[in-house]
A = this chain, B = another copy of it.
Protein backbone atom coordinates (compact mmCIF):
# COMPACT_ATOMS: atom_id res chain seq x y z
CA UNK A 1 0.00 0.00 0.00
CA UNK A 2 1.60 3.22 -1.20
CA UNK A 3 1.77 6.06 1.29
CA UNK A 4 0.78 9.27 -0.42
CA UNK A 5 1.49 12.65 1.12
CA UNK A 6 -0.53 15.53 -0.35
CA UNK A 7 0.86 19.01 0.26
CA UNK A 8 -1.38 20.90 -2.14
CA UNK A 9 -4.16 23.17 -0.82
CA UNK A 10 -6.87 20.71 -1.81
CA UNK A 11 -10.57 21.03 -1.10
CA UNK A 12 -13.02 18.16 -0.68
CA UNK A 13 -13.68 17.79 -4.41
CA UNK A 14 -9.94 17.61 -5.14
CA UNK A 15 -9.42 14.99 -2.43
CA UNK A 16 -12.21 12.93 -3.94
CA UNK A 17 -10.54 13.13 -7.36
CA UNK A 18 -7.11 12.13 -6.02
CA UNK A 19 -8.45 9.31 -3.86
CA UNK A 20 -10.42 7.93 -6.78
CA UNK A 21 -7.18 7.86 -8.80
CA UNK A 22 -5.26 6.25 -5.94
CA UNK A 23 -7.64 3.56 -4.78
CA UNK A 24 -6.07 1.38 -2.10
CA UNK A 25 -3.39 3.90 -1.15
CA UNK A 26 -3.15 5.69 2.18
CA UNK A 27 -3.50 9.47 1.98
CA UNK A 28 -2.03 12.02 4.38
CA UNK A 29 -2.86 15.70 3.89
CA UNK A 30 -0.66 18.51 5.14
CA UNK A 31 0.96 21.74 3.95
CA UNK A 32 4.59 22.63 3.14
CA UNK A 33 4.68 24.71 6.33
CA UNK A 34 3.15 22.10 8.69
CA UNK A 35 4.51 18.84 7.28
CA UNK A 36 6.97 16.94 9.50
CA UNK A 37 10.29 15.39 8.49
CA UNK A 38 8.89 11.98 9.44
CA UNK A 39 5.85 12.40 7.18
CA UNK A 40 8.16 13.24 4.29
CA UNK A 41 10.60 10.44 5.09
CA UNK A 42 7.90 7.78 5.12
CA UNK A 43 6.03 8.92 1.98
CA UNK A 44 6.28 6.85 -1.21
CA UNK A 45 4.59 9.54 -3.24
CA UNK A 46 4.43 13.27 -2.59
CA UNK A 47 1.94 15.44 -4.45
CA UNK A 48 2.96 19.02 -3.87
CA UNK A 49 5.95 21.00 -2.90
CA UNK A 50 7.86 20.20 0.31
CA UNK A 51 10.88 22.34 1.09
CA UNK A 52 13.66 20.77 -0.98
CA UNK A 53 16.05 20.33 1.94
CA UNK A 54 13.45 18.37 3.93
CA UNK A 55 13.38 15.57 1.35
CA UNK A 56 16.98 14.64 2.14
CA UNK A 57 17.17 12.15 -0.74
CA UNK A 58 14.62 9.90 0.95
CA UNK A 59 14.92 6.34 -0.36
CA UNK A 60 11.21 5.73 0.24
CA UNK A 61 10.19 8.48 -2.16
CA UNK A 62 9.39 6.88 -5.50
CA UNK A 63 7.71 9.83 -7.14
CA UNK A 64 7.41 13.56 -6.49
CA UNK A 65 4.70 15.49 -8.37
CA UNK A 66 5.44 19.21 -8.15
CA UNK A 67 2.71 21.81 -8.36
CA UNK A 68 5.08 24.27 -10.08
CA UNK A 69 6.46 24.31 -13.58
CA UNK A 70 9.89 25.38 -12.32
CA UNK A 71 12.01 22.49 -11.06
CA UNK A 72 15.28 24.21 -10.13
CA UNK A 73 15.18 23.55 -6.37
CA UNK A 74 14.56 19.81 -6.86
CA UNK A 75 17.14 18.90 -9.49
CA UNK A 76 20.03 20.00 -7.30
CA UNK A 77 22.18 16.95 -6.47
CA UNK A 78 21.36 15.51 -3.04
CA UNK A 79 17.73 16.65 -2.95
CA UNK A 80 16.16 13.60 -4.56
CA UNK A 81 17.35 10.01 -4.51
CA UNK A 82 18.35 8.76 -7.95
CA UNK A 83 15.37 6.41 -7.89
CA UNK A 84 12.81 9.18 -7.38
CA UNK A 85 10.81 10.11 -10.46
CA UNK A 86 10.15 13.85 -10.67
CA UNK A 87 7.21 15.36 -12.54
CA UNK A 88 6.21 19.00 -12.75
CA UNK A 89 3.00 20.87 -13.53
CA UNK A 90 4.02 22.18 -16.93
CA UNK A 91 0.90 23.10 -18.83
CA UNK A 92 -1.21 24.03 -15.82
CA UNK A 93 0.14 27.58 -15.77
CA UNK A 94 0.01 28.40 -19.44
CA UNK A 95 -3.31 30.21 -19.35
CA UNK A 96 -2.57 32.27 -16.23
CA UNK A 97 0.98 33.29 -17.12
CA UNK A 98 0.30 33.95 -20.80
CA UNK A 99 -2.70 36.15 -19.97
CA UNK A 100 -0.69 38.06 -17.38
CA UNK A 101 2.15 38.64 -19.86
CA UNK A 102 -0.41 39.69 -22.47
CA UNK A 103 -2.01 42.17 -20.07
CA UNK A 104 1.44 43.60 -19.28
CA UNK A 105 2.16 43.91 -23.00
CA UNK A 106 -0.99 45.92 -23.64
CA UNK A 107 -0.48 48.01 -20.48
CA UNK A 108 2.93 49.11 -21.76
CA UNK A 109 1.80 49.62 -25.38
CA UNK A 110 -1.11 51.81 -24.23
CA UNK A 111 1.02 53.53 -21.54
CA UNK A 112 -1.48 52.65 -18.81
CA UNK A 113 1.31 52.57 -16.20
CA UNK A 114 2.06 56.24 -16.90
CA UNK A 115 -1.63 57.17 -16.73
CA UNK A 116 -1.94 55.34 -13.41
CA UNK A 117 0.97 57.39 -12.08
CA UNK A 118 -0.66 60.61 -13.29
CA UNK A 119 -3.94 59.59 -11.68
CA UNK A 120 -2.20 59.42 -8.30
CA UNK A 121 -1.21 63.07 -8.83
CA UNK A 122 -4.69 64.06 -10.12
CA UNK A 123 -3.13 65.02 -13.48
CA UNK A 124 -5.24 64.88 -16.65
CA UNK A 125 -2.34 64.87 -19.09
CA UNK A 126 -1.60 63.33 -22.43
CA UNK A 127 1.34 60.94 -22.90
CA UNK A 128 1.25 60.92 -26.67
CA UNK A 129 1.45 58.14 -29.18
CA UNK A 130 0.61 54.55 -28.36
CA UNK A 131 1.27 51.40 -30.34
CA UNK A 132 -0.70 48.36 -31.42
CA UNK A 133 0.05 44.68 -31.71
CA UNK A 134 -1.56 44.79 -35.15
CA UNK A 135 1.58 46.25 -36.69
CA UNK A 136 4.12 44.77 -34.27
CA UNK A 137 6.61 41.95 -34.40
CA UNK A 138 6.68 39.97 -31.18
CA UNK A 139 9.56 37.69 -30.22
CA UNK A 140 8.47 34.96 -27.82
CA UNK A 141 11.62 33.60 -26.19
CA UNK A 142 10.89 30.18 -24.73
CA UNK A 143 8.24 28.36 -26.68
CA UNK A 144 6.83 25.90 -24.17
CA UNK A 145 3.18 25.82 -23.18
CA UNK A 146 3.22 29.35 -21.79
CA UNK A 147 5.11 30.86 -24.72
CA UNK A 148 2.79 29.19 -27.20
CA UNK A 149 -0.32 30.36 -25.36
CA UNK A 150 1.04 33.92 -25.33
CA UNK A 151 1.93 33.64 -29.02
CA UNK A 152 -1.68 32.71 -29.81
CA UNK A 153 -2.95 35.76 -27.89
CA UNK A 154 -0.71 38.30 -29.62
CA UNK A 155 -1.26 36.67 -32.99
CA UNK A 156 -5.03 36.98 -32.54
CA UNK A 157 -4.49 40.75 -32.27
CA UNK A 158 -2.56 40.81 -35.51
CA UNK A 159 1.08 40.57 -34.38
CA UNK A 160 3.76 38.86 -36.40
CA UNK A 161 5.27 36.26 -34.05
CA UNK A 162 8.84 34.99 -34.00
CA UNK A 163 9.22 32.01 -31.71
CA UNK A 164 12.64 31.42 -30.15
CA UNK A 165 13.41 27.93 -28.78
CA UNK A 166 16.41 25.82 -27.97
CA UNK A 167 15.61 22.81 -30.12
CA UNK A 168 14.79 22.67 -33.81
CA UNK A 169 11.25 21.54 -34.64
CA UNK A 170 8.50 22.31 -37.06
CA UNK A 171 7.12 25.77 -36.25
CA UNK A 172 3.88 25.46 -34.30
CA UNK A 173 0.90 27.19 -35.87
CA UNK A 174 1.04 30.05 -33.37
CA UNK A 175 4.31 31.42 -34.78
CA UNK A 176 5.15 32.93 -38.14
CA UNK A 177 8.82 32.13 -37.86
CA UNK A 178 10.98 29.91 -35.67
CA UNK A 179 14.54 30.78 -34.63
CA UNK A 180 16.97 28.81 -32.47
CA UNK A 181 17.97 30.31 -29.12
CA UNK A 182 21.59 30.45 -30.27
CA UNK A 183 20.49 32.98 -32.90
CA UNK A 184 18.59 35.17 -30.42
CA UNK A 185 20.76 38.19 -31.23
CA UNK A 186 19.51 38.17 -34.80
CA UNK A 187 15.89 38.37 -33.64
CA UNK A 188 16.26 41.22 -31.14
CA UNK A 189 16.72 44.07 -33.67
CA UNK A 190 13.49 43.07 -35.43
CA UNK A 191 11.19 42.81 -32.41
CA UNK A 192 8.81 45.48 -31.10
CA UNK A 193 8.03 43.26 -28.12
CA UNK A 194 10.35 40.67 -26.57
CA UNK A 195 8.45 38.40 -24.17
CA UNK A 196 10.78 36.04 -22.35
CA UNK A 197 9.48 33.00 -20.52
CA UNK A 198 12.63 30.96 -20.06
CA UNK A 199 13.05 28.53 -17.15
CA UNK A 200 16.06 28.70 -14.85
CA UNK A 201 18.79 26.54 -16.37
CA UNK A 202 22.53 26.90 -16.80
CA UNK A 203 21.93 27.94 -20.41
CA UNK A 204 19.37 30.67 -19.66
CA UNK A 205 21.12 32.33 -16.72
CA UNK A 206 21.93 35.93 -17.67
CA UNK A 207 21.10 35.18 -21.28
CA UNK A 208 20.15 38.87 -21.75
CA UNK A 209 23.32 40.91 -21.48
CA UNK A 210 23.94 44.62 -21.90
CA UNK A 211 24.74 43.79 -25.53
CA UNK A 212 21.36 42.08 -25.96
CA UNK A 213 19.67 45.36 -25.08
CA UNK A 214 21.99 47.19 -27.48
CA UNK A 215 20.58 44.96 -30.22
CA UNK A 216 16.97 45.84 -29.38
CA UNK A 217 15.02 48.73 -30.92
CA UNK A 218 14.86 51.91 -28.83
CA UNK A 219 11.09 51.53 -29.07
CA UNK A 220 11.11 47.92 -27.88
CA UNK A 221 9.16 46.54 -24.94
CA UNK A 222 10.83 43.78 -22.90
CA UNK A 223 8.80 41.48 -20.67
CA UNK A 224 10.16 38.78 -18.37
CA UNK A 225 7.66 36.26 -17.04
CA UNK A 226 10.10 33.34 -16.82
CA UNK A 227 12.83 33.38 -14.20
CA UNK A 228 14.46 36.47 -12.75
CA UNK A 229 18.01 35.46 -13.45
CA UNK A 230 17.55 35.62 -17.22
CA UNK A 231 18.73 39.21 -16.81
CA UNK A 232 20.59 40.98 -14.02
CA UNK A 233 18.85 43.86 -12.29
CA UNK A 234 21.77 46.14 -13.19
CA UNK A 235 21.62 45.33 -16.89
CA UNK A 236 17.87 45.83 -17.04
CA UNK A 237 18.00 49.09 -15.07
CA UNK A 238 20.75 50.42 -17.33
CA UNK A 239 18.87 49.50 -20.50
CA UNK A 240 15.82 51.41 -19.28
CA UNK A 241 17.62 54.41 -17.82
CA UNK A 242 19.80 54.83 -20.92
CA UNK A 243 16.80 54.53 -23.24
CA UNK A 244 18.09 51.42 -25.00
CA UNK A 245 14.47 50.23 -24.95
CA UNK A 246 11.16 52.03 -24.38
CA UNK A 247 9.78 50.11 -21.43
CA UNK A 248 9.74 46.79 -19.65
CA UNK A 249 7.74 44.63 -17.30
CA UNK A 250 8.91 41.89 -14.99
CA UNK A 251 6.93 39.39 -12.96
CA UNK A 252 10.14 37.80 -11.71
CA UNK A 253 13.28 39.27 -10.15
CA UNK A 254 16.88 38.19 -9.85
CA UNK A 255 16.36 38.11 -6.06
CA UNK A 256 12.80 37.54 -4.79
CA UNK A 257 11.22 39.34 -3.10
CA UNK A 258 12.87 42.24 -4.89
CA UNK A 259 14.71 44.09 -2.08
CA UNK A 260 12.98 47.28 -0.94
CA UNK A 261 16.10 49.28 -1.77
CA UNK A 262 16.37 48.00 -5.35
CA UNK A 263 16.62 50.89 -7.82
CA UNK A 264 14.26 48.95 -10.12
CA UNK A 265 11.18 49.90 -8.06
CA UNK A 266 11.51 53.56 -8.99
CA UNK A 267 12.04 53.24 -12.73
CA UNK A 268 9.01 54.86 -14.35
CA UNK A 269 9.01 52.87 -17.58
CA UNK A 270 9.35 49.54 -15.77
CA UNK A 271 6.31 47.68 -14.43
CA UNK A 272 6.90 45.20 -11.62
CA UNK A 273 4.52 42.48 -10.46
CA UNK A 274 5.59 40.24 -7.57
CA UNK A 275 5.84 36.80 -9.23
CA UNK A 276 2.08 36.38 -9.24
CA UNK A 277 1.41 35.56 -12.90
CA UNK A 278 1.37 31.89 -12.00
CA UNK A 279 0.81 30.46 -8.55
CA UNK A 280 -2.83 29.76 -7.90
CA UNK A 281 -3.96 33.30 -8.71
CA UNK A 282 -6.17 32.15 -11.53
CA UNK A 283 -8.55 29.55 -10.07
CA UNK A 284 -8.41 27.44 -13.24
CA UNK A 285 -4.70 26.81 -12.66
CA UNK A 286 -5.13 24.77 -9.51
CA UNK A 287 -7.87 22.68 -11.08
CA UNK A 288 -5.45 21.78 -13.86
CA UNK A 289 -2.69 20.88 -11.40
CA UNK A 290 -4.97 18.49 -9.53
CA UNK A 291 -6.00 16.99 -12.86
CA UNK A 292 -2.34 16.38 -13.77
CA UNK A 293 -1.64 14.88 -10.31
CA UNK A 294 -4.68 12.58 -10.49
CA UNK A 295 -3.90 11.47 -14.03
CA UNK A 296 -0.27 10.78 -13.09
CA UNK A 297 -1.26 8.96 -9.91
CA UNK A 298 -3.39 6.57 -11.89
CA UNK A 299 -0.58 6.08 -14.41
CA UNK A 300 2.05 5.58 -11.70
CA UNK A 301 0.04 2.90 -9.92
CA UNK A 302 -0.54 1.15 -13.25
CA UNK A 303 3.19 1.23 -14.02
CA UNK A 304 2.66 3.54 -16.99
CA UNK A 305 4.67 6.53 -18.21
CA UNK A 306 3.99 9.77 -16.35
CA UNK A 307 3.14 13.09 -17.93
CA UNK A 308 5.72 15.88 -17.44
CA UNK A 309 8.58 13.72 -16.23
CA UNK A 310 11.57 15.98 -15.63
CA UNK A 311 14.97 15.44 -17.20
CA UNK A 312 17.45 16.14 -14.39
CA UNK A 313 20.15 17.27 -16.77
CA UNK A 314 18.07 20.07 -18.31
CA UNK A 315 15.31 20.75 -15.77
CA UNK A 316 12.77 20.57 -18.62
CA UNK A 317 10.21 17.85 -19.07
CA UNK A 318 11.66 14.94 -21.04
Q: What residue of chain B has the Cβ atom nearest to residue A270's Cβ?
A: B119
B273 & A122 in contact (Cβ 8 Å cutoff):
no
Among A109, A119, A120, residue most surrounded by chain B Cβ atoms (within 10 Å): A119
Q: What residue of chain B has the Cβ atom nearest to residue A273's Cβ?
A: B115
A156–B261 CA distance with the chains assembled, in angstroms: 41
Asked whether A130 is an interface residue with its Cβ less than 8 Å from the other chain, the reply is: yes
Q: Given A112-B107, A125-B274, is A282 in contact with B132 using a C-beta cutoff of 8 Å?
A: yes
A window 110-126: CB within 8 A of B: 110, 112-113, 115-120, 122, 124-126
Residues of B within 8 Å of A133, CB to CB, are 99
Residues of B within 8 Å of A95, CB to CB, are 132, 134
B273 & A99 in contact (Cβ 8 Å cutoff):
no
Copies of this chain in the oligomer? 2
Asked whether A256 is an interface residue with its Cβ less than 8 Å from the other chain, the reply is: yes
Residues of B within 8 Å of A240, CB to CB, are none
| Pick from B103, B118, B119, B125: contact of A106, CB under 8 Å | B103
Write the A44-72 contact mask toward B (1 if CB under 8 angstroms, else 0): 00000000000000000000000000000
A274 & B115 in contact (Cβ 8 Å cutoff):
yes
A99 & B103 in contact (Cβ 8 Å cutoff):
no
Residues of B within 8 Å of A303, CB to CB, are none
Asked whether A283 is an interface residue with its Cβ less than 8 Å from the other chain, the reply is: yes
A window 266-317: CB within 8 A of B: 266, 271-274, 276, 279, 281-284
Residue numbers of A with Cβ under 8 A of B are 95-96, 99-100, 102-104, 106-107, 109-110, 112-113, 115-120, 122, 124-135, 153, 156-157, 256-258, 260-262, 265-266, 271-274, 276, 279, 281-284
